[in-house]
Amino acid sequence: MSHTAHIPSHRKPRRSASKLAVRAGVAGGVLSTLAMAGTASASPSAEPVTETTLEMPVLDMDLASDVASAVTTAAENTRAAALEGELNAQEEDARTGAAAEAKEAKEEAQKKADAEKKLKDEADRQAAADRANRSTDRSSLTTASASNSGSGKATAPSRASSGSSTPATGSAAAIVNFARAQVGKAYVMGATGSSAYDCSGLVQAAYRQAGISLDRTSQSQSLAGTSVSLSNLQPGDILYWGSKGSAYHVAIYVGGGNFVGAQNPSTGIVERPMSYDRPTGAVRVL
């Protein structure tokens, strides 16, 4: 054995042939690639590389304008809907108001018709009462005439209720003369002259000639002044028919047992004897 056999060897270990072959192949491939690249760049006949640029489509619409237009259209639609709702509400209110006015007008018309009917019924009732009184008076006169004819005596009409026959003077004369001047004129319910009167309208107008103001209705006129008996009447006294304070007819005593009154639509203003339609009572204002 060598005297250096125990000293380790300082030589590098030998590489395996397979590793060397691999490395040689890789190096050869790299060199081959470089050589080809150099040849391609040095060759004058090589075609240039063409770059391709992709063009993006261009939008030709104005998005901001379209958005603004859409917003405006939506706002207009909203306003139109609100306006339509308001118009519908106003139309409904108008229909409701018209219905209420129609109902009120109908009620007023009914009230007016009822009042006119009441006046007509009162006039008809008064006319019927006048006819009944005239029939009674005619029957009484016929009976009296037959009695007188049978006895052979002529009896003068009773003046027990005719009152004073003294001619009217002063204020009483003004009242009586005015009342007599209206004889022949028409009776119209509610009229106060000068071509037509109702009963209380005639009495009121006659007393106005003497400077005396009376209430308009027969009920109020029957309460005027002081009560007097039918046997102690004076020209100008107010005669009334019905209860005092609720009289339905009035007239003016003109003396001589007669009165002047606006009786009814069929007779108009007439002068009649007390027996024609005997009053219930009388009042004296003068």
pLDDT value at position 149?
Answer: 42
Res 132: pLDDT: 57
pLDDT score, position 79: 83
CA distances from 114 to 107, 119, 120, 200, 217 (A): 10, 9, 10, 22, 19
- State residue 242's pLDDT score: 95
In degrees and rounded to multiples of 5, residue 269 shows phi and psi of -90, 125
Sign of the CA dihedral 276, 277, 280, 282? negative
- How far is it, in rounded angstroms, from Cα 225 to Cα 219? 13
Report residue 76 as tokens: 């207009």
Question: How far is the C-alpha of 286 from the C-alpha of 277, rounded, in Å?
Answer: 24
Amino acid 26 reads V
Q: Return phi, psi of residue 64, to 5°.
A: -65, -40
Instruction: Determine how many CB atoms are found less than 10 A away from the CB of residue 193.
Output: 13
Query: In which element (H, E) is residue 194 found?
Result: none
Q: What is the DSSP letter of 269?
A: E
Among 285, 4, 274, smallest CA distance to 137 is for 274
> Residue 6: its pLDDT value, please?
54
Please give the average pLDDT of every successive group of 10 residues along the chain, which has 286 residues: 52 54 55 55 51 55 72 84 84 82 83 76 65 51 44 38 61 96 96 94 96 95 96 96 95 97 96 95 95
Compute the residue count for the chain. Answer: 286
